[in-house]
Amino acid sequence: MATVQATADRGMTAEERKVIFASSLGTVFEWYDFYLYGSLAAIIAKQFFAGTDPNTAFIFALLAFAAGFLVRPFGALVFGRLGDMIGRKYTFLVTILIMGLSTFVVGLLPNYASIGITAPIILISLRILQGLALGGEYGGAATYVAEHAPHGKRGAYTAWIQTTATLGLFLSLMVILGTRTAIGEAAFADWGWRIPFLVSVFLLAISVWIRLSMNESPAFAKMKAEGKTSKAPLSESFGQWKNLKIVILALVGLTAGQAVVWYTGQFYALFFLTQTLKVDGATANLLIAASLVVGTPFFIVFGSLSDKIGRKPIILGGCLIAAVTYFPIFSALTHYANPALEQAIKNAPVVVTADPADCQFQFNPTGTKKFTSSCDIVKAKLAAASVNYTNEVAAPGTPASVKVGNTVIQSYSANGLSKDDAAAKDKAFSKDLGDAIKAAGYPTKADPAQMNKGMVLVLLVILVIYVTMVYGPIAAMLVELFPTRIRYTSMSLPYHIGNGWFGGLLPTTSFALVAYKGDIYFGLWYPIVIALATFVIGLLFVGETKDRDIYAND
């Protein structure tokens, strides 16, 4: 107890540095593995879903990626239970083995052309294993580090864990970029995409070697020696209102807002640059990577600051600041990254006239639903082309049309059409719409000569700093909310529902909102509303935790 509850003014011991390094390094590798798939989804679609048309193949590839996010809470339950029953060390050693081996096997997996439908089945199974493992990894690493940290320094110590997702993303981007540059795009698309997956086996070996040399956390070791470990962590965590209400508050009053700010600052910013502003992928990835390099040290800054002023004001402050500044920041990104698009939005009004009954809210988290009405088709194409539009009501049963300047183009419905007829209709409509959009001044891609990369980088760094505010102190706060005997289980579930579901669904939800309203910025309402809800709930119902003795309830 004396070591764990040491005063906050002493220096970090060699053992504590080893704990932080081992936990952080292993989690970097895990996130590296997980992000690879998302970055290479387009190539994987061609390799493993070649039995369908290109659009359907990409949809299934994204569905497989989403599966990894959706199963994370179940991984939290499975491995959280094990971590509270048998120990932190061995449980999150198992998670990294599952994650690393699953990733390595993807690099060896024969494609659709070689083994047919078996290839995508195995691929999706591996993605589910990765998601389950990741669901158990974070809670183990955060709990392990926090239970080694001296009282008064848990925020600073666990903040190193918080850098790992960002560093994992950065590492995966660099390995992919380096491989592409070294062997060329053609070879990378053919076989080179496997290299980043195969390289992970070396990262896995290093991480396993380090983790095997670690000791069990002192908090769990003490509890086990006293015979106080939980025999039923799931029922204690979620079957008793005393703890369940804290789990619910941790989700809606902390992790939901943290998640949407995290995903907006890193994933949605990249999506917005490439898909909405039409910045080429290499430039966008380099700008995101540079912003991560500049912003990542702030995880430690805010984690350490939370030890002094509290976790709650920093996390909730980050949610509030992000919510009130997202619209001006993303508007400024458009101004500096693609000024031609900004001018086209101002100068070339577009109007969609449709029967409201013909228009659906295009929320499609699984990627399997088809939107085939004349209204849905035209809105999806305009949203994908980053065209702002207003909506006018047409008479019931009237097919949708779009007016671009003085040109009116009739949409079509794919309902009841054969595959070939639908493809022919789509080709003709897409050409007419594309010609009209181009004539109205909407650029097909951002002009590098007009881009102010310096200002784009500044804006991206600001978004990453928001991420560090909400994410830097969150591990320490989640650990401090729950007693040792059920800590791994209790903290893992709200974290992974928040990040896996609220955060993971951000891109599809935001796209649906943009298509619904016709405003390229309307998708920002999703993270803004969630962040504001977390701010209010957290402010009113979640208590400060920085001074809690994490042994007091045991």
Q: What is the pLDDT along the chain (554 residues), one digit of tens a residue?
A: 444 444 445 566 777 777 788 777 767 876 787 678 767 877 887 888 776 656 566 667 666 777 777 888 888 888 888 888 887 778 878 888 888 898 899 999 998 889 888 888 898 888 888 888 888 877 778 888 888 888 889 999 999 887 877 788 778 888 988 998 899 888 998 999 999 999 888 888 888 888 787 777 777 777 777 777 778 888 888 888 999 999 999 999 999 999 999 999 988 898 899 888 999 878 998 898 899 889 989 999 999 999 999 999 999 999 999 999 999 999 999 999 999 999 998 888 899 999 898 888 876 655 556 788 999 899 888 888 888 888 899 899 889 999 988 889 999 988 888 888 888 998 999 999 989 988 888 898 999 999 999 999 999 999 999 999 999 999 999 999 998 888 888 888 898 899 888 887 787 788 788 878 889 999 999 999 999 999 999 999 999 999 888 765 55
CATH superfamily of 16-337+449-541: MFS general substrate transporter like domains (1.20.1250.20)
Q: Which of 50, 196, 220 is nearest to 143 (CA)?
A: 220
**What pLDDT shows up at residue 35?**
73
Element housing 352 (H / E)? strand 350-354
**What pLDDT shows up at residue 6?**
44
Rg (CA), the chain: 24
User: Across the beta sheet with 350-354, what order do the strands follow?
Assistant: 390-393, 350-354, 401-404, 407-410
Sorted by where each begins, the domain ranges of the chain are 16-337+449-541, 348-439
**What pLDDT shows up at residue 552?**
59
CB 155: neighbour CB atoms within 10 A?
31
The model carries a pTM of 0.84
CB 189: neighbour CB atoms within 10 A?
15
Residues 38 and 44: their CA atoms lie apart, in Å, by: 9
CB 42: neighbour CB atoms within 10 A?
15
